[in-house]
Every structure is written in C-alpha cells, then in structure tokens.
Amino acid sequence: MGSLRLDERGVTDYFDSHSFYRFHHRNRPNETLLITDGDGDVDMMTFNISSSENWQIYYQQGRWFIRPYASSVVQSWKDYQLGLMQDEKGNVGALPKVAKRSGGLGQQWTFAQVDDGNGGFGYRISNGLLGNTSFLALTGDGGQPGMQSSSEGTVWDMQVNRQAGDPSMDNSYEDVNNFVVATTSVTSVLSTSKATAGPSLSSASSSTSTATSISPGSASGSASVGSGAIAGIVVGAVLVVLAATGAFIFFAKRRKRNQVRDRYREAELRSDTKVTYAHMGSPAEIGSDPVVHMGSYQEERYELGNDGPSARSPSKLPMTENDAKDIGSGGGSPAARLPRDGVP
C-alpha cells in the first residue's frame, strides 16, 4: 500500500511511521536499544555507534510493529521486525529479538503513555503474546531488556532521530500479511540465562492469545473437510446403495418364486393336473425357480353295486366321446385299449 502519515490513518499523537526512533531508558541514560549480532539479539549500548539503534514504529489495525533501520546501503534487516519468540510448547521467551516479518502476536506491540515520575511522560510497552500485564523492562545494570510483570523499570523514553532520515525502503510502509487477532488464554514466559536484570524477568506470565489469522481473501470461521473424510463418506454411501440393491433383488426373486408355486398348487387342487417340482442342475441352483412338469391322468372307473365296487373290468363301463376318439387313433389310456366283450 502507499505511504500514509499517522493523521491520515486515523491515529493521532504517539508515533510517526515516517520517522526513526531511539529507545532510551532513565536507568541507562547514555544507552539505547540496538541489534548486537547477526542473530537478531538486542541489548542496550551507547548510542550513535550503529544504524541499528534506529527503529521505525509502524501502525496497523490497532497494534504497532517495530522495524529496524534499513536503507539502500544497509538492507540487512529490511524484512525484519522486533518480537518475542515462542517455543514448540507454547512458552514465550522473555527477551525480544529481531525476526522475519509476520503478523503474529509476538511481533505486535502496544505503547501506553504514562507519567514518567519526573513531570513528563514515557511509554509502557506490552506484547501481543503476553497481553497488557507484562511489560518491556530494564531493571538492573548490565541486564538485557526483557518482559516482566512488575511495573518497575518499565517506562521508556522514545526520541525521534532526525539525522537518520525517513524510512525509504520499498516495503517500509507495507502492512504485514496474516495479521493475527488475539483471544484470551494463558502463556508462560521461558526463563533465560541471558537475563541478568533480576528474577522477575524470567518468571513473567500473563494472558495471551489463541491465534486467529486474517489473510487477504480468507473467510473468518470457515471450516473444511479432509479428503480422507470425504473418501470415507463416499465409500460408505456406495456400500449402503449396494446392500439395499442386493436386498431388493433377493426379496423380489423370493416373492416371484413363491407366487409361481402358489399358482401351480392352486391349479393342482382345482383340476386333475398333477404338478411336479424339480430343481435341475447343481446344488448351487436350488435357489432358482423350479421346473414344473404337468400331466393329465384319469382315475380307474368302477361301478358301484350293493356289494361295493364292481370287479368288472373298467372297459365295460360306458365309453366317453374322448375314449372313442382315442381308440380310433390308437391312443388313449391303457384302460380304453382293453378288448371289449365279444370282440377278439
């Protein structure tokens, strides 16, 4: 984004992002905060000895980012900001250092204007990871600046250094990406052997944040489903459909088979038709529809007399029209082909 002065960003008083500042402290009036090595460690040293004693204080979304001096000649720290480090367990180091720019809470600072006790004012500086109950302090001779919960030694004097010029790098006035918004939780500060300013530096703790990152084009509170979960849902749905289809086919065939059997059993009861059920093929085919064999038959005819059924031959009974036709064609039942009385 383009350059905007503080009054154009809706912020009054405090700091102008177009200037460089020095961090001074009344406990060490001849020293200022600067970078001491290539790892980004900071300490109090005599001022006017290094360009790294100059800091741009850049405002974004209600927080300040502290950026080290950089120019066309000195570009080593152009993409860096001052912040607190956090280890893999979530503990926060007490000593600030310079690290690559980010929108993380560890690089977000708040400056609260307070009475310096001498009729003037100074600034109490807190960090986004530790909330507003721990402050950057300088409490003893020879000690490094570090975070503590006590208010002792926490007032800083911020002075503009006009001789350093204005921040002029191409990214000097760029907002950071993935700005993190804090919600309340508890975090401990790591003790460190480098802190010699007293026990309060290594035991500071306060409320801090559960990070919520806001990046361009991202929607807050959105949720996504993993590809593994989606695959599981798809497989489960396919299995349910296959099981339902198999059950439908099984019961449909079973119903059809029962209807066929019932129909032929009813026909057998109503007529002289005998129905034979058989399953052809291997035992694996027993579940298939039965093979139905039907055949007509005629029971033997008897004359009833006083003594019960007559012993006379069935052939002596009156012939029916069908019997006569069968005899003429050489067919018919065995009873119809027996010789009649008086006929050889």
User: What Cα–Cα distance (Å) separates residue 168 from each residue in 72, 147, 159?
Assistant: 8, 31, 19
Q: How many helices (H) and strands (E) does the chain have?
A: 2, 21
Residue that has been written with the tokens 């109490």 in this structure: 124
Per-residue pLDDT for the chain (344 aa), expressed as one digit of tens each?
A: 333 333 333 334 579 999 999 999 988 989 999 999 999 999 999 988 889 999 999 999 999 999 999 888 888 899 999 999 988 888 999 999 999 999 999 999 999 999 888 888 899 999 999 998 899 999 766 788 999 999 899 999 999 999 999 999 999 999 999 999 987 554 555 544 443 333 334 334 444 444 444 443 443 344 445 678 898 899 999 999 999 999 999 988 888 888 877 776 776 666 555 545 454 444 444 455 555 545 444 445 445 555 544 444 444 445 555 555 555 555 444 444 444 444 44
What CA–CA distance (Å, rounded) separates 220 from 202? Answer: 36
Q: Residue 312 — φ and ψ, nearest 5°?
A: -65, 155
Domains and their CATH numbers in the chain: 6-214 (2.80.10.50)
Q: Of 99, 77, 64, which is closest to residue 175 (Cα–Cα)?
A: 64
User: What Cα–Cα distance (Å) separates residue 59 from each residue in 24, 78, 286?
Assistant: 20, 17, 85
Q: Is 116 helix (H, G, I), strand (E, B) or coil?
A: coil
What CA–CA distance (Å, rounded) separates 297 from 273? Answer: 7
**214 CA to centre of own chain:** 18
